[in-house]
Structure 1
Amino acid sequence: MVSYLARRMSRPRVVAIVLALAAILVVSLLPTWRAEAATPAAAPAATPAGTAARPVPTPAGRVLLLGRIAPHLQQLTVADLAAKYPQHTQTVTFQSGAGPQSHTYTGPTLYDVLQAAKPTFRSDVKNDALRYAAVIHASDGYESVLSWGEIDPGFAGTEALLAVTQDGVSLAKEGPRLTAPGDTKGGRYVSGVTAVTLVRAGL
């Protein structure tokens, strides 16, 4: 049948029919193409505002300092924490999942370590430091937070330590331990600290 019609029609007429069919097909597909062009490509998931970025993996026994601090002081070993900062000793008691615990820790205060890193607080904002918090990251993924007002001697003055010894035993292998004296529960006694990120809350 097709060959019969082709023989009965002239070549220019066949070409015209083919072009007409092609035009009809293009017109029918235009709405689909326009819809696809108007749909934005999926964007990668963004970090929620006000949250701290996850630190890169850090070898055990080292602490990476991140956030709004001077770039020249980024990574500290337990030996650095023991030698470069004033040492404090405290005996604390807190509740854990295994019952009450009591330990004696020695090390620098978290405040001294962060102050030495020269935080970039805004001078044009009244008490800008009070908008900041330190996020403490552990080797097992655990995290805890202390606000700047808690650890600043001019405010609450909590002597949270990045302890380098526990009950006289060095923590050089597993990494320093954050203490939170005054806490009834031990949830903020973070073992195996690998990073401290200083973040600013709010606008």
Structure 2
Amino acid sequence: MNQTCAFAPPARFTVVGDVLRPARLAVADLRAWPLRRVRVSFECATSGVRHHRFEGPLLHDVLRTSGPSFDPARRKDRLRFLIAVTGGDGHHAVLSWGEIDPDFGNAPVLLATRIDDTPLDPHGPQLVVPQDRCGARHISGVTSLRVDGQYVSPGP
């Protein structure tokens, strides 16, 4: 019997934008950061309450490694930075740097490497926002994280 095993290459995602060190990473690379485990329940509009277990590093830790280009001497400078997350299925979410920064919101947002003990290597990481009641910002198969510090509030 002749069987051929075709292994898909691991999904990769990019960290781009206003960072000093853009990166192209795979789920396996995310295991270099300290991993957190969380249990999450969220309401899905079509299927009701969903319960999952996720494991992965904090989004903040991963993005800090890429060197966001805010001015470290001006503490509030980082508050104008936004993070745009894109999934392979076309879903998008935007978070603010202040949400995930330990000096401000300190939200434990993850880039999950596992869901319910299943590795996400072939699909890409999942953005997990544990504090959200609705799972709409849980982005599967993340393909891009874009850090954008160009936002400047309009004048009065």
Partner of 1:64: 14
Partner of 1:106: 55
How far is 1:98 from its partner?
Answer: 1.2
RMSD, aligned α-carbons: 1.6
- Describe the shift of the 1:89–1:124 C-alpha distance in structure 2 as closer, same or farther (beyond 3 A): closer
- Greater per-residue helix proportion: 1
Distance 1:126 1:104 in 2: 34
Distance 2:10 2:48 in 1: 27
Partner of 1:176: 125
| TM-score w.r.t. length of structure 1 | 0.67
Deviates more, 1:190-199 or 1:62-71: 62-71
How far is 1:171 from its partner?
Answer: 0.3
- Whether the 8 Å CA contact 1:60–1:192 is kept in 2: the answer is no
The residue correspondences of 1:75-94 to structure 2 (distance < 5 A) are: 75-82=24-31, 84-94=32-42
The residue correspondences of 1:151-162 to structure 2 (distance < 5 A) are: 151-162=100-111
Q: Secondary structure at the match of 1:178?
A: strand
How far is 1:61 from its partner?
Answer: 1.8
| TM-score w.r.t. length of structure 2 | 0.86
Q: Secondary structure at the match of 1:127?
A: helix
- Describe the shift of the 1:150–1:108 C-alpha distance in structure 2 as closer, same or farther (beyond 3 A): same
Give the number of aligned pairs. 143
How far is 1:122 from its partner?
Answer: 2.8
- Whether the 8 Å CA contact 1:60–1:194 is kept in 2: the answer is no
Unaligned runs of 5+ in 2: 1-8
- Describe the shift of the 1:167–1:123 C-alpha distance in structure 2 as closer, same or farther (beyond 3 A): closer
Does 2:96 align with 1:142?
Answer: no
The residue correspondences of 1:113-128 to structure 2 (distance < 5 A) are: 113-123=62-72, 125=74, 127-128=76-77
Q: Percent identity?
A: 36
The one-letter code matched in structure 1 to 2:116 is D
How far is 1:125 from its partner?
Answer: 4.9
